[in-house]
Structure 1
Amino acid sequence: MGRRKREMAQRLKEEKRSKVTASLRNHRISARKTRLVADLVRGKEVNKALAILKFTPNASAAYIEKLLVSAINNWEQKNPDKALDDVTLYIKSIQVGEAGMLKRIQPAPQGRAHRIRKRMSHITLELGEKINN
């Protein structure tokens, strides 16, 4: 491997190591409904986002709140030398994608059947930090 490729690989490895994420796979609520809640907290500071999620009545809000707490704990694990008070964490990105589908049958009139699609979603949350002075 050449010098430039090795340096680039090293840089990418460092970026990946410093990135703080948490993900929830096969979440049993559709991506469309979950995106509504995710849009409320995207780009917000962590404390404000937790307050918003606590008082949001949607079912997805509780799952995203739990995911956010997990991401904060991941940040604390990766940065034992930094105090949470010295750094302002914010939601750098939150992505909601479609997952698999559970397909069920709903009996219909005259011997027919309609398909019910129980949709699922994947949620990925990434935190960023702003240093307080």
Structure 2
Amino acid sequence: MEAVAKLRNYPTSPRKMRLLADLIRGKKVEQALAELEFNPKHPAVPMRKLVLSAISNWKQKNEGGDESQLFVKTIFVDGARTLKRMRPAPQGRGYRVRKRSNHVTVIVDAKP
């Protein structure tokens, strides 16, 4: 039985978060946690917490289940709200700055 964890409105661009999601997709949970722990990218910390949360959710659903067989079944990153700001530009103009954020969904499951 699978378990889901979601991270909503995290303030980094979806493109940067997808780089981390592609790293751990389909891997065993222990290996995914190890890769995220030593990754220098700043969204690796909340992504690691999200995977730990998914593991915890799986434990609550499956009392006495074997945790060593868990793997990241699905992970996807969607765009969330975008804050629009203005930055001063030459000759009295203004450049638009789009501060992006994202939603991440992780699904873990045990191999049969």
Q: Give the TM interval when normalised to the shorter protein.
A: over 0.9
Partner of 2:4: 21
Partner of 2:87: 106
TM-score (norm 2): 0.95
How many angstroms does 1:112 deviate by? 0.6
Partner of 1:32: 15
Mark the runs of 5 or more structure 1 residues left unpaired by the alignment. Answer: 1-17
Separation of aligned partners in 1, 2:48 and 2:65: 23
Structure ID, larger Rg: 1
Give the fraction of aligned pairs with identical amino acids, expressed as a percent: 48
Mark the runs of 5 or more structure 2 residues left unpaired by the alignment. Answer: none
Larger helix fraction of residues: 1
Q: Which has the higher contact order (CA 8 A, sep 6+)?
A: 2
Q: How many residues align?
A: 112
Partner of 2:28: 45
How many angstroms does 1:99 deviate by? 0.5
Q: Within 5 Å, which residues of 2 pair with 1:1-133?
A: 18-84=1-67, 87-131=68-112
Alpha-carbon RMSD across the aligned residues, in angstroms, is: 1.1
Separation of aligned partners in 2, 1:126 and 1:81: 19
How many angstroms does 1:63 deviate by? 1.0
CA contact (8 A) 2:2 2:110 kept: no
Separation of aligned partners in 1, 2:65 and 2:110: 11
TM-score (norm 1): 0.81
3-state secondary structure, aligned to 2:26: coil
Separation of aligned partners in 2, 1:106 and 1:118: 12
